[in-house]
Structures are given as C-alpha cells and as structure tokens.
Structure 1
Amino acid sequence: MEPLFDFLGNYWWLAFPLAGIFGGVGSAWERATKRRHKRRLEILRAKSELKAAQAAARAKPVATASVPTAITRPSPEPDQLEQLVTAHDEVARRWLDYELDVAKLIAFPAMSDGRQPMTAAFLRAKRNADHLRPASAKARVTKQQLDEYRSAVTEFEVAFDLAEREARRVRDSSFTEVERKRLSTAKQLLTVAIDQAATPAERQLAYKRVREELDGLISLSDEAVEELEKKVALELTADPHPANE
C-alpha cells in the first residue's frame, strides 16, 4: 500500500482537474435529463389539451353556417377566444405530428432539435402561448388578457411555420455523411418494422436496428417510442391471412 500512498502524496493536485472533468460530465447528463423531462411534459400537456378540445367539439352542436377562419375578424369576445383556442390546438396538433412520428423525425430531424434557432424560437413561443392560454374556451377574460393571448397564438403559429419551413429546407444537412447514412438506414428499417408482409422476426430485428441507428442522432421522446412500439406490435399481432368465414 505504501507505493499507492506515495503516489497520492506526490500527485494530490490531480484530484482537482479530475473532479472538474467528472463534475462536467455529471452536469451535462443532468441538463440532458432535465431537457428530456421538460419535453415530455410539453408533449403530455399538448396531448391532454387536444383531447379536451376534441371532446368539447364532439359535444358542441354543429353550426349550419360556415365559421370564418380569420381570428382577427371583429366578433364578441367569447367567439374570439374560441377561435384562438382552436388555432392554438391546431398548431399543437401539427407539432405532435412530428414529435410522435418517428418517420417524420428521421425525415426532418431539426423539428426535434432545440439547438436549431428556428425550433428554439418556436418552443419559446409555445411555452408563452401555453402559459397565457385560459382554462377553457368559455372562460371569462379581460380585453387585455384576450389581446395578450391573441398575440401569443399568432406568434406561436408564425414560429411553427418558420421552424417547419426551415426543417424541410435543411433536412439532414447538419449531419455528417456517416450520420446521414445511419438516418437513411433507419428509415429503410422502419419500413420493415411496420411491414405486415415481413416475418415477426424480421420486424422485431428491424425495430431494434432502428433504435440503434438513431441512438445519439435523434432524441426520441418516450411518447414517440411508445407510438412506434404500438405500430410494430399491431403488425406483429395482425393475421395477414385471416380465415375465410
């Protein structure tokens, strides 16, 4: 043991840089965990709001007259608020189409990358609109609250359109050639994973390979993984040759 103690006595100063290294790794891991947790909460909140809006729409009598799409047209405040909430829900639905669809995330990875300026701006606008959103479309709000919510929803819509346009423009150009090949492989394997014509073994293997190829490239939310597993399981349990009645 004496040589070990001699070494530690002579090189005690190494403890400080090593502590900094390990501390930095731990901090990065903690930040990544917090980002994933916040993103999951946003997805759950958006899904919950969409379900509530869909339930309200089913319960509401269908109007015989067409409803104007412009939210800035003068109308009583309750009608304006309903239109704003509907517009808010529509943008949230479009966002969830990307967040929960692995194929879309592979095709347009920037939509899930908060480091991209346009995507980051959209996520900020989303948080602001969610924060200013009234408890319901029938809630009593002041003119100031209505104006603030209208501005937030408008910013939310514009920010999403810009982020989507940018994501479709850049596609996978921010990745290296090796990474692009991995994304292409993952896209091909995803087709096999949900292909009913493939054998169960082929589908299971393809699903596993998809997760491996995307690891470190695209951060999939727990909900996106769950949706993908449902699709794979559906194909695995479906009978491609049902018995004739």
Structure 2
Amino acid sequence: MEPLFAFLGSYWWLAFPLMGVASGLAGWWSKQSKERHRRRLEVIKAKSEARAVELGARAQIKASKIRGAADDDVEASDAAGRRDRLKRLMTTHDDVVRRWLDYELDVGKLIAFPTMSDGRQPLTAAFLRAKKVADGLRPPSAETRTDPETLAEYRDAVHDFEVAFDVAEQDARRVRDSGFTETERKRLERAQHLLQVAIDQSATTAERQLAYKRVREELDGLIVLSDDAVEVLEKQVAPEIEPPKRAEGLNP
C-alpha cells in the first residue's frame, strides 16, 4: 500500500484531469441515454400512429361495407316497393280496360249508352287518347325493373286513363240516346228489342238469324260496332255446336 500512497502523493495533480474526463464521460453517457430514450419514444410514437392509421383504415372499410350493405338493402327495398306499386297500377289499368270492354263488346250496352262507342264525342275521344298513352307506357310485366321516373310516368298515365273513363261513362249514362232524333231513338229501341230475340236460345235458328240481321240494319249509320263486338254477338246468335261426348271406355 505504501508504494500506492507514494504514487498518489507524487501525482495528486492527475486527479483533476481525471475528474474532468470522468465528468465528460458521464455527460456523454447521459446524452447518449437521453438520445436512446428519445429514439425509443419516437419509435413508440411511430408505431402508435401506424397502429392508429391501420385501425382507422379498418374502421373505414368496415363502415364502407356496412354502408354498402345498407345501400343494397335500401335499393332492394325500393325495388320491391316499386314492383308492388307497379302491380297495383297494372291491376288498375286492367280493371279500367275490362270496364271499357263491357261496353265495347256488349251490343246491348252500346245501344243503351251509344256515346261510349262514338269517338267523335269529346269525352269519349279524351278517354281513348288516355288509354292509348297508358297502353304505350305499360311495362311488359309487373316484374319489369323500373326506375322511379318511369314508374311515376306510368302512374300518371293510368290515373288519367281511369279518370277520363269515369267521366266519359258518367256522361254516357247521363245523356244516353238524347243526342239522337226521335226517329233514331225509335230505331235504337227496335234494335234493343230485336237483340233480345237474336240471343234468345229458345228461339229457332232462323228467328235468331233474322233478328240479328235486322239489328245490324237498325244500327247502321247510328252506332259503329267493332269487329270484336260483332264476333261476340255472332257467337251469341249462333253458338258453336259442341261435339258429342264419347261414351266412356270406347276408343276413338
């Protein structure tokens, strides 16, 4: 130990530089520690930000899928709703057409309400125009995909068609044959009476045929019968003879 004490006693002044070096080393070490700590914090922050971005992206994708599914559900619901409305509109359209055919194909009704077959009458002409528009806009079937604008256009056309027919029918029932002269009204009366004979299956074939011929003569120049109305009337006057039934168990 004495040599060590002797050395320290001789070189005591080295303590000051060594203290400076030690202090410098401590400062450097502290600085390096702080730098490493700062870098670790930056890495942690970067990882956190990356994680946040990843989670945000996932959330956006999930939300987008949910919105997409919701949009699909809304579109499907809208499409189903439009299909149901289209079915109702087509049913209304068919109902009005059937009401019109009750006049168009029934000669007795045409005689009773002649303006329903007279396209020269303003209300009848308006109804026929509305029918043409509605028929032109009618989709091929109730399952046809339609956009809202097309559906709205068809809806308005069917509404106009229905209203125009109602107005024409009410007017026809109001005026009846008042637009004809006394002589013409008598011809209509005779035609109505003869029509009953023409379709009376208890009458003979000759009686029905003669009555049918006279009906056509009385109506000539007063009421124009459509080809379909004539066909229906002719079937009533001379119904097709049904083929005899085969006896059961016999081969043809």
TM range (shorter): 0.5 to 0.7
Aligned residue in 1 for 2:199 = 194
SS in 1 for 2:238: helix
What is the TM-score of this pair, normalised by structure 2?
0.63
Structure-1 residue corresponding to 2:25: none
Pairwise CA RMSD of aligned residues?
Answer: 1.4
Task: Find the partner of 2:88 among 83, 86, 99.
Answer: 83
One-letter code aligned to 1:142: D
- How do 1:1-245 and structure 2 match up within 5 A? 76-234=81-239
- How far apart in 2 are the matches of 1:139 and 1:229? 38
Q: CA deviation at 1:196?
A: 2.0
- Which structure shows the bigger proportion of residues in helix conformation? 2
Counterpart-to-counterpart distance in 2, 1:116 and 1:178: 21
Conserved 8 A contact 2:104-2:226? yes
Aligned length: 163
In 2, Cα distance between equivalents of 1:106 and 1:237: 28
Shift of 1:199: 2.0
Q: Give the unaligned 5+ runs of structure 2.
A: 1-79, 243-252
Quick one: distance in 1 between partners of 2:172 and 2:135? 23
Runs of 4+ in structure 1 deviating by more than 4 angstroms, as ranges, are none
Aligned-residue sequence identity (percent) comes to: 70
**Offset from partner CA, 1:61-96 (integer Å, 9 cap, x none):** xxxxxxxxxxxxxx8111000100111011011111
Q: Distance in 2 between matches of 1:189 and 1:237?
A: 23
Instruction: Give, in whole Å, the separation in 2 of the partners of 1:138 and 1:144.
Output: 17
Structure 2: which amino acid aligns with 1:151?
D
CA distance in 2, matches of 1:86, 1:105: 25
* C-alpha separation in 2, matches of 1:231 and 1:113: 24
Partner deviation per Cα, 1:9-42 (whole Å, 9 max, x = no partner): xxxxxxxxxxxxxxxxxxxxxxxxxxxxxxxxxx
